């Protein structure tokens, strides 16, 4: 098993309310010449969590951090104009993200949660994931 020290949250950078899924992202990433979807999990608008790349495989989601991280992508992240960053998470996505992070922290207790923006000049995931998810997985928050 890989030594996971980071859980990195991303957004798909798609318009608020626009439905896409892991298969769509897989197609996009293959079109970029990658072997397939770079994220390990994708959280749909309704909160359903889809599998992306197997966790045993190194992701392709955050340069210089892929070998030690798990990548999670929620669908959305920009306003209807398709450009302006916005936290578009639905209530269902927020709950699903918390649940997924809690489970991943049980499996990888030393992993810290970050947003892609903590390692890049991008706005992704369009909210402060590091602050919002701080403490998830600690004994008092299980």
In a domain, 33, yes or no: yes
pLDDT per residue as tens digits for the range 75-84: 999 999 999 9
Q: Reply yes or no on whether 11 is catalytic.
A: no
**Domain containing 86: what range?**
6-135
Q: One of 10, 29, 105, 108 is an active-site residue; which one? A: 10
DSSP-H helix ranges across the chain: 22-31, 91-107, 129-132
Asked if residue 80 lies in contact with residue 16, where contact means CB atoms within 8 angstroms, the answer is yes
Secondary-structure breakdown of the chain: helix, strand, coil percentages, each rounded to the nearest 5: 30, 20, 55
Tell me what pLDDT residue 135 has.
86
Is the model's pLDDT at 110 over the cut of 80?
A: yes
The total number of structural domains that make up the chain: 1
In a domain, 101, yes or no: yes
Predicted confidence band at 1 (pLDDT cuts at 50, 70, 90)? Answer: low
Q: One of 11, 62, 73, 124 is an active-site residue; which one? A: 124
Predicted confidence band at 97 (pLDDT cuts at 50, 70, 90)? Answer: very high
Q: One of 68, 98, 122, 130 is an active-site residue; which one? A: 122
In a domain, 1, yes or no: no
pLDDT per residue as tens digits for the range 2-50: 899 999 999 999 999 999 999 999 999 999 999 999 999 999 999 999 9
In a domain, 104, yes or no: yes
Residue 142 exposure: Cα atoms within 13 Å on the Cβ side: 8
pLDDT per residue as tens digits for the range 54-91: 999 999 999 999 999 999 999 999 999 999 999 999 99
**What is the CATH classification number for the domain harbouring 91?**
3.40.80.10
Give the residue among 27, 37, 25, 3 at the shortest CA–CA distance from 110.
Answer: 3
Q: Reply yes or no on whether 65 is catalytic.
A: no
Predicted confidence band at 139 (pLDDT cuts at 50, 70, 90)? Answer: low
Q: Reply yes or no on whether 139 is catalytic.
A: no
Q: Reply yes or no on whether 41 is catalytic.
A: no
Is the model's pLDDT at 138 over the cut of 70?
A: no
In a domain, 109, yes or no: yes
Higher pLDDT, 74 or 137: 74
Q: Reply yes or no on whether 10 is catalytic.
A: yes
In a domain, 141, yes or no: no
Is the model's pLDDT at 108 over the cut of 90?
A: yes
Q: One of 29, 39, 86, 108 is an active-site residue; which one? A: 39
């Amino acid at each position: 098993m890989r030594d996971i020290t980071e859980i990195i949250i991303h957004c798909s950078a798609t318009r608020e309310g626009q439905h896409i899924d892991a298969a769509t992202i897989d197609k996009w990433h293959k079109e970029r010449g990658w072997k397939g979807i770079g994220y390990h999990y994708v959280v749909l608008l309704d909160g359903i969590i889809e599998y992306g790349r197997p966790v045993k495989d190194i992701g392709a989601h955050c340069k210089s951090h892929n070998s030690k991280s798990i990548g999670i992508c929620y669908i959305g992240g920009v306003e209807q104009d398709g450009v302006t960053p916005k936290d578009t998470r639905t209530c269902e996505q927020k709950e699903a993200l918390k649940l997924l992070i809690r489970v991943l922290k049980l499996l990888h207790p030393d992993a810290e949660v970050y947003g892609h923006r903590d390692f890049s000049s991008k706005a992704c995931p369009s909210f402060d994931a590091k602050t919002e998810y701080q403490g998830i997985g600690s004994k008092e928050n299980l």
